[in-house]
Structure 1
Amino acid sequence: MDGQLITFTGVAAGMVAMPGADFAVVVRNALGSRRAGVACAVGVAGGLLVHTALAVAGLAAVLVAVPVLFGAVQVLGGAYLLYLGGRALLAVVRGPADAAPTADEDAAARPGDEAAEQQEARTGVGRSLRQGFLTNALNPKAPVLFLSLLPQFVPEGQPALPRTLLLATIVVAMALVWFPAVALLVDRLGNWLRRPRVTRALEATTGALLTTLGGVLLVEVALA
């Protein structure tokens, strides 16, 4: 039994499940629809795949070693989180009257327009996928985390590349299980979570979280 691999699996599980920007953006999209939530979750896993691939290839070390590149990623990540958080808070301010129509209401407003509905659904799923991917991929802390974490679980004398590939696969696989599960749970509780008061509370919470995380990233750049 590989004790280091078991330990890493536990550490990776805690790292993936820890609430943060990824969790917030998945929940927000899942409130819209199950498909949007799952697409966003897959996007988050795609972002993790980028980070783990960079760590395995050693490119993350270059990013960390070059302050200008690291700062640029930090600014982009912070700005994107502020954008998502601002949109969520704006939705709270606008209130239920400006909320997007449900699928049934939209179908009633545009009877027989199935092609347009399908196109709109595909656009929404693509947008959610992109949000999940960018939220994770633009996280500047991830390269540092993977660079410091993965080497600790490569046994002495064992080839580094196959081992780090295995560790990276474990992280991405866990993300592909955890975040879609979060999206499906939110959708399962949809009747309660989509009540106007609950929805606005969740929007306010996720908006505040995303805005805070984005602001922290930008402040760190300014103070660096």
Structure 2
Amino acid sequence: MDGQLIAFTGVAAGMVAMPGADFAVVVRSALDSRRAGVAAAVGVAGGLLVHTALAVAGLAAVLVAVPALFGAVQLLGGVYLLYLGARALAAAVRRPAATADPTAGPAADAPADGGHPAALLGTAQSLRQGFLANVLNPKAPVLFLSLLPQFVPAGQPALPRTLLLATMVVALALVWFPAVALLVDRLGTWLRRPQVARALEATTGALLTVLGGVLLVEVALA
């Protein structure tokens, strides 16, 4: 493995692991169940796959070059994050404050209910939320367009190298975000205690709301 590839691995790992909307959506979903958390994580990786594919195809350059198109994506992303934030805040308000059986959360995620229609519906919803939260992030095309070319050695064909770098980003996401979901589920007995769960719901809701608000302010000021 060459030095540039090692350096890119470190940069990409930091980029993927940086707390943000993706992280908040995965944690929020994992509070519901392990299955929902992993589904949201896979959805985030799917969104990254779209961004990397656009960057490789050069379509991301079009998005960045057309202000109206970029602004539309930014507006959609901001509105969607505000929607997710509002849902999380509402869930925090509705969550009962009384102490409940701490084993109730993990039991709800037992394999026995895996095929229940409600569980499958929640999984699909989490997958969709993770995907949309990532794919509607307007910063991603700019990031990939500015980052990937820096790690293509001079004189080397750009397409194979860029495909390799893009694959590495998606692979890192497929490791990191499911790990976050599994960690949240592992700590489920404690995290699903009513007071802790309310605090986490409120925190992730506030984070998503702030991120969505920032995107909308940037659209207004553009």
Query: Using the alignment, how far apart are the partners of 1:115 and 1:127 within structure 2?
Result: 17
Query: Using the alignment, how far apart are the partners of 2:197 and 2:131 within structure 1?
Result: 24
Q: For the Cα contact (< 8 Å) 2:77–2:212, is it kept in 1?
A: yes
**Aligned positions of 1:13-28 closer than 5 A:** 13-28=13-28
Query: Following TM superposition, by how much is the alpha carbon of 1:121 offset from its aligned partner in structure 2, in angstroms?
Result: 1.1
**Aligned positions of 1:36-115 closer than 5 A:** 36-96=36-96
**Distance change (3 Å), C-alpha of 1:116 and 1:32:** closer
**Distance change (3 Å), C-alpha of 1:95 and 1:153:** same
- Equivalent of 1:132, from 130, 133, 144? 130
AA aligned to 2:80 is Y
Sequence identity percentage = 83
Corresponding residue number in structure 2 for 1:122 = 120
Corresponding residue number in structure 1 for 2:31 = 31
Query: Following TM superposition, by how much is the alpha carbon of 1:119 offset from its aligned partner in structure 2, in angstroms?
Result: 1.1
AA aligned to 2:96 is P
Query: Following TM superposition, by how much is the alpha carbon of 1:103 offset from its aligned partner in structure 2, in angstroms?
Result: 8.5
Query: Following TM superposition, by how much is the alpha carbon of 1:117 offset from its aligned partner in structure 2, in angstroms?
Result: 6.3
**Distance change (3 Å), C-alpha of 1:56 and 1:194:** same
TM-score, normalising length from structure 1?
0.92
What is the aligned-residue RMSD (CA, Å)? 2.3
Query: Following TM superposition, by how much is the alpha carbon of 1:79 offset from its aligned partner in structure 2, in angstroms?
Result: 0.3
The Cα offsets for residues 116-146 of structure 1, whole Å up to 9 and x where unpaired, read as: 9611111111000000000000000000000
Q: For the Cα contact (< 8 Å) 2:105–2:192, is it kept in 1?
A: no
AA aligned to 1:83 is Y
Query: Using the alignment, how far apart are the partners of 1:178 and 1:63 within structure 2?
Result: 28
AA aligned to 1:127 is Q
Identify unmatched segments of 5+ residues in structure 1. Answer: 106-113
Where has structure 1 moved over 4 Å in runs of 4 or more?
Answer: 101-105, 114-117
Q: For the Cα contact (< 8 Å) 2:33–2:106, is it kept in 1?
A: no
Query: Using the alignment, how far apart are the partners of 1:141 and 1:151 within structure 2?
Result: 16
TM-score, normalising length from structure 2?
0.93
AA aligned to 1:203 is E
Corresponding residue number in structure 2 for 1:108 = none
**Distance change (3 Å), C-alpha of 1:159 and 1:32:** same
Query: Following TM superposition, by how much is the alpha carbon of 1:94 offset from its aligned partner in structure 2, in angstroms?
Result: 2.1
Query: Using the alignment, how far apart are the partners of 2:189 and 2:139 within structure 1?
Result: 36
